[in-house]
Amino acid sequence: MRSDHDQKLSWEHLDIECRCGFRSKKFTAVNFVFTFLVGALLTILFFAALYPFRGGSPYVDMFFHGGVEHRSVIPYFTMLLAFWAVAILLIKLQKLSVQRRALALKILPRNQNFVLSPATAREILDNIYEKVQTPKRFLILDRIERTLSNLKNIGNVSDVSESLNAQASNDENYLASSYTVLKGFIWAIPVLGFIGTVLGLAYAVGGFGTVVSRGADVEQLKQSLAGVTSGLAIAFETTLIALVAALFVQLLMTFVMSREEEFLDECSDYCHRNLIAKLKTAKMIDPIRE
């Protein structure tokens, strides 16, 4: 037989940040220290997987610095930033799956004739507290708890709907703000690639300038120009890496954002079915007497 503790929906036992001993952020927002550590681990695993193939393919070699081509260390930082962003998005998906569990809860009393009013709102709150530990951790339950706590101050159904819509707008703005850092990463990743390219260009052109300043003959100039063109190809590798990484992060972020938007729509539908459809305020219950 399961204990009451095990029967309750517990954010602390389901959220990956809490389980790993880190402070969990609100709803689907993430702890950036934890996500950085996960991103760093993913970066190490990525380069460890490529390392055995180093020297066998230019598509592998371009991720590593040094060599006769004098590649820069920029790809290390590019991939770290990219995998940090990936870690944020993967953990947001995990948090979103935990949030969705609250949508499966039946918070209404079993009585089919139940009518929600200021007098009966306590029954729904008691059901929530019985089934969930720290309901405020769950977006939909936090929204419901706030609405029911203020139900006695609301005069009609339209006021309840407006209150829920206002909270839904606040939740939407909060979740949207959790992508601010990610959008900065998507901007910064290509910039890192351009920096690597500029460094490569400076090195290649600088070598050619040295040859010219020494008064080299035509044959030496040809050889030097060949080195410049080869250096240009190497220099643009950092931009290629950065653009591909930024594209992947952008596509993954778009997918996660669409899932969160679907979740917010489901929350609004849940509130309509379980609150507004069952609602009768005091003005609706008490007949108007002359």
Q: What is the pLDDT of residue 78?
A: 94
Q: What is the pLDDT of residue 59?
A: 83
CA angle 266, 271, 276 (to 5 degrees): 140
Q: What is the pLDDT of residue 126?
A: 86
Residue-range domain boundaries for the chain:
4-285
Q: What is the pLDDT of residue 232?
A: 67
Of all helices (H) and strands (E), which one includes residue 247? helix 218-274
Q: What is the pLDDT of residue 272?
A: 85
Q: What is the pLDDT of residue 145?
A: 86
Q: What is the pLDDT of residue 242?
A: 93
Q: What is the pLDDT of residue 9?
A: 86
Per-residue pLDDT of the chain (290 residues; tens, 9 = 90+): 444 445 688 898 999 999 999 998 889 999 999 999 999 999 999 999 999 988 888 788 888 876 556 677 889 999 999 999 999 999 999 999 999 999 988 888 887 777 877 777 788 888 888 889 889 999 999 988 888 877 766 556 667 777 788 888 888 999 999 999 999 999 999 999 888 888 777 766 655 555 555 555 555 555 555 555 556 666 788 889 999 999 999 999 999 999 999 999 999 898 888 887 777 644 444 443 33
Burial class, 235, CB count within 10 angstroms (exposed 0-12 / middle 13-18 / buried 19+): buried
Strands 132-133 and 9-10: parallel
Q: Residue 10 pairs with which residues in a beta bridge?
A: 133
Distance (Å, rounded) from C-alpha 84 to C-alpha 246?
12
Q: What is the pLDDT of residue 222?
A: 55
Q: What is the pLDDT of residue 262?
A: 94
